[in-house]
Amino acid sequence: MSKLFRRWGSLHAKLLRTILASFVAGIAVAAVILLFVVNNITRTNMIDGLSVTAKIIANRSAASLIFIDQQSAKANLASTKGRQSIEHLCLYDAVGFLFAGFSTNNIELLCEETTTPVSDVSVSSLAGKILVVIPVIEQSELLGHLTLEANTRNLEKDQRVLSAILLLSLFVSLIVAYILGSRLVKRSLVPLEALYNTSSIIAKNTLSEERAEKISNDEVGRLVDVFNLMLNNLASENKALIYSETRFRTLSENAPIGVFLKNEKGEYEYTNSRWSEITGLDSSNSDSFTSFIDGEDRGKYKIAMDSVLECVHTEVIEYRFQNPNIGSRMLMEYMTPVDDHVGRKCFIGSLLDVTELKVAQFELEKLAFYDPLTQLPNRRFFRDHLELAIVRAQKEGKKIAMYMTDLDDFKKVNDSLGHDVGDELLIKIANRLRGTLFEGDVVSRMGGDEFMILLDDVEDPTRLDSASQRLIEALQATVTSGTQSVQVSGSVGMAIYPTDACTPDELIRFADMALYNAKELGGNHVSYYSHELDLKIKARVRLEQKLRQALIEEKLEVYIQPQYHAQTRKLIWGEALVRWRDREDGMISPEMFIHLAEETGLIYQVGDFVFDRVLVLLSENGEQLSALGMQGIAVNLSAKQFYAPKFAEVIAGKFKAAGVEPSLIEFEITESMVMDDIDDAISVMESLRRLGCRLSIDDFGTGYSSLSYLKRFPITSLKIDRSFIKDIPEDKNDIEISCAIIALAHSLGLSVVAEGVETDEQANLLASYDCEFLQGFYFDRPMPISELLERAGKG
Ligand code: C2E
Ligand code: CA
Ligand code: CA
């Protein structure tokens, strides 16, 4: 049926139908016209014939009417016998009475008995009949009239025959037209058919190389050309598309990021393999994607999707994704709206696993603001927080307190128990400090063993005291490792906003000053910033500036205090002691500025100055010194100098440059200096000894006096501290200590120097205890070099 319909509806059928319809219409019109014309002509001919016959009969009937001869009239009428079409002839007289009648072919005569007289000829045709009425006139006198009635049967019969002939010829021509038309249409449709076949092949396989054959050069031929050109263009576009698609796929499959295409409902239509790796899902379960998004982030994800569609823009969203196959990950998704080939809204995008990045970022943030060891906020965080706290306190008219703490002897823990124990201690202290705080307070690690604490609202002064107490207690601990244990305590300095300082920097600085003061007081101490402290610190600052200036202006001097042989009382050695004579303040004691110089680093310059001066003395005035019996000079070293990188090398260079024998120098170091890092200290000592210098421990007896360490030190002598000498002989304890030190030194093969000898009695006693050398005001005060040389001159 459909085939039939298709054929019925085909162009072929349509064309054929049109041709046939036009043909039939043409022929039909021609036939109708022909029929009409032929009919008209025959009818006219017939009427003319009947009129002529009626006229002849009428003429012949005149005599019969004049002579009222009905017989002849009848005969006359009957003369028409044989004329098949004539049916009735009726002759009426002048008044309209029937005179005679005649009917042919044995038909019953149908003449009216009377009629109205007629003077004009008339012809009328009615329902298959023709009626001719003609007056009978003789010499202008109306004698009567004749009616002749004829049937048109013959006429109609002719017509029917003609129609049949026409119909037949129409039918024959139709068949001929069909055959010819069909052939014509078929022939002209061949190229179109070919076009159709090619199109069918291309429709099934767009990549087919098939092209339409050009059969003619007519319009269809041109259509074939354009069609083939179009196919070629399509083919090359297709190839480009396939190439682009292949490229995209390769790119996407090898991309280090997840790539996807999903529809409006969130159903995935394409995902690359990296996407599957990231999500742990594949095409079979990709549509359950959102159910793996962390519950808290799911809403956010939905909003982002809606926003992409509504606002037609790219959204970037980060969310947590939990798939048991891959664990908990942090993903970052870029979504861009696109229309697909059928105009549906879709999302195209990429997916990144940013878990490691986030962790790194988090770690980085932590590093930036937190101390990795104690997990406390670091200095930077604290500084920012302090700034905010000050702004808030200012607004609310509140006070805040800033504490700064520092462990006393932390270095000792590190050195004697190891850095791991030191770290553990810091963590412990950090936790304890944290435990002392209230809400709003902050503790942070400054670095090393220093902590800063900010108390938020300290209107009540008792709170400050109790906080200070709690902090001091938190800093006290006993650290044990193996058999060794070290007792630690801490110092605390405090300053208050806005009483003491108004800016974060000032507040930190003042708390630091107070801490410094607490340390100065011996540690395990709380010190509040005060005006006096400020003055003290300002004085210190002033002193520091003056010392700098003094170094620039070379206002320092070196004095020498001789040392004597206890037995012979002969000058044998000397100690170089620095002196500073200030224009305003007069002579400033080394006790006042050496410590400051150590803290500020100026000690390097001071130390260099003293050592260089001593070298000059030795190289230039060697003879005078020998004359005095001075075999060498002791030089005091501070910890910073001693631990300075390549100290021994620098010293060696100086000896060489000055041409001085290193054996002429003894370096004095203190126990506290070397106990901080024994191994390091021993290596420096050894390198100094290798140069040929002597080494002594100064102020011996005030520090550790540990035999076990002393044994390892490559030293040449001990100097008994002045504090043990000054009360000899009254203080028996001091005598015992001095004797013990002398015995200890001798047992280690070291010589002993007693310093601070002020009396003859002391000198004699020490000599009797076998102390080799004596130094003190009893013999000489420290003197300017000039004075010493003068003495040599006096010899
Ligand atoms: P020190 O090394 O113990 O030096 C001995 C100190 O005792 C000197 O004080 C000296 O003047 C003093 N003195 C000597 N005999 C007596 C005495 O019989 N009675 C009393 N009461 N004192 C006596 P000075 O010169 O004031 O030096 C103090 C400290 O300053 C020194 O103690 C030393 O530690 C340090 N110092 C001095 N000069 C230098 C130096 O050039 N470099 C370094 N690093 N420190 C130095
Ligand atoms: Ca000394
Ligand atoms: Ca000393």
Candidates 547, 551, 636, 723: which one to mutate for ligand 1, based on the most atoms within 8 Å of Cβ? Answer: 636
SS3 690: helix
Straight-line distance from the first to the last Cα atom of the chain, in angstroms, rounded to the nearest whole number:
151
* Residue of minimum CA distance from atom 35 in ligand 1: 590
* Residue of minimum CA distance from atom 25 in ligand 1: 577
777 lines ligand 1 (CB under 6 A): yes
pLDDT on residue 4 = 41
Which is nearest to 526 in space by CA: 403, 426, 444?
A: 403
pLDDT on residue 40 = 86
CA distance 445 to 426: 9
577 lines ligand 1 (CB under 6 A): yes
Nearest bound ligand to CA 638?
A: 1
* Residue of minimum CA distance from atom 16 in ligand 1: 756
CA distance 78 to 778: 209
- What's the per-residue H, E or C state across 566-630? CCCCCEEEEEEEEEEEECCCEEECHHHHHHHHHHHCCHHHHHHHHHHHHHHHHHHCHHHHHHHCC
User: How far is ligand 2, taken at its centre, from the CA of residue 634, in Å?
Assistant: 8
* Residue of minimum CA distance from atom 42 in ligand 1: 636
User: How far is ligand 3, taken at its centre, from the CA of residue 720, in Å?
Assistant: 7
Nearest bound ligand to CA 756?
A: 1
696 lines ligand 1 (CB under 6 A): no
- Hey, which residues does 696 pair with through a beta bridge? 668, 717
User: How far is ligand 3, taken at its centre, from the CA of residue 699, in Å?
Assistant: 4
CA-603 nearest atom, ligand 1: 44
756 lines ligand 1 (CB under 6 A): yes
Contacts of 441 by beta carbon, 8 Å cutoff, 6+ apart:
453, 454, 455, 456
Strands 571-582 vs 633-636: parallel, antiparallel or unpaired? parallel
CA distance 68 to 72: 9
CA-668 nearest atom, ligand 1: 2
628 lines ligand 1 (CB under 6 A): no
Element (H, E) at 557: strand 556-565
CB 476 within 8 A of CB 524: yes
CA-610 nearest atom, ligand 1: 41
Q: What is the value of pTM for the model shown?
A: 0.50
87 lines ligand 1 (CB under 6 A): no
Mean pLDDT split into 10-residue runs, the chain, 795 residues: 56 82 85 86 87 89 88 87 82 90 78 86 86 89 90 84 86 87 82 81 82 81 86 86 88 90 88 92 84 92 88 89 91 90 86 91 84 91 93 93 92 87 93 88 92 88 85 90 85 93 92 90 90 84 93 94 96 97 91 91 96 97 94 96 94 96 96 85 96 95 77 94 94 94 94 96 96 97 95 78
594 lines ligand 1 (CB under 6 A): yes
CA distance 322 to 358: 16
User: How far is ligand 1, taken at its centre, from the CA of residue 577, in Å?
Assistant: 6
Length in residues, the chain? 795
408 lines ligand 1 (CB under 6 A): no
Contacts of 622 by beta carbon, 8 Å cutoff, 6+ apart:
none
758 lines ligand 1 (CB under 6 A): yes
Which is nearest to 347 in space by CA: 293, 385, 400, 309?
A: 309
CA distance 269 to 247: 18
For ligand 3, a single-atom ion, the residues with CB < 5 A are: 698-699
CB 283 within 8 A of CB 260: no
638 lines ligand 1 (CB under 6 A): yes
pLDDT on residue 559 = 97
Token digits of residue 101: 């009648």
Q: Which ranges in 255-289 belong to alpha helices (H)?
A: 273-279
pLDDT on residue 545 = 94
* Residue of minimum CA distance from atom 7 in ligand 1: 756
Element (H, E) at 3: helix 2-9
* Residue of minimum CA distance from atom 43 in ligand 1: 636
Token digits of residue 267: 């159903």
Contacts of 731 by beta carbon, 8 Å cutoff, 6+ apart:
none
Four-residue CA torsion sign, 187, 192, 196, 201: positive
Token digits of residue 83: 């004329």
Which is nearest to 99 in space by CA: 138, 71, 60?
A: 71
The helix-helix angle for 2-9 and 11-66 (nearest 10°) equals 70
* Residue of minimum CA distance from atom 11 in ligand 1: 782
CB 625 within 8 A of CB 792: yes
Cα–chain center distance at 460: 50
**Burial code of 579-611, b = ≥16 C-beta within 10 A, e = fewer?**
bbeeeeeeebebeebbeebbeeebbebbbebbb
61 lines ligand 1 (CB under 6 A): no
CA distance 10 to 27: 25
CA distance 21 to 7: 17
pLDDT on residue 450 = 94
User: How far is ligand 3, taken at its centre, from the CA of residue 657, in Å?
Assistant: 29
Candidates 551, 577, 580: which one to mutate for ligand 1, based on the most atoms within 8 Å of Cβ? Answer: 577
CA-782 nearest atom, ligand 1: 11
Token digits of residue 559: 């004095």
CB 560 within 8 A of CB 577: yes
Max distance between CA atoms of the chain, in angstroms, equals 226
Nearest bound ligand to CA 634?
A: 2
Token digits of residue 614: 């001593």
578 lines ligand 1 (CB under 6 A): yes
CA distance 729 to 490: 39
SS3 670: strand
CA distance 571 to 565: 6
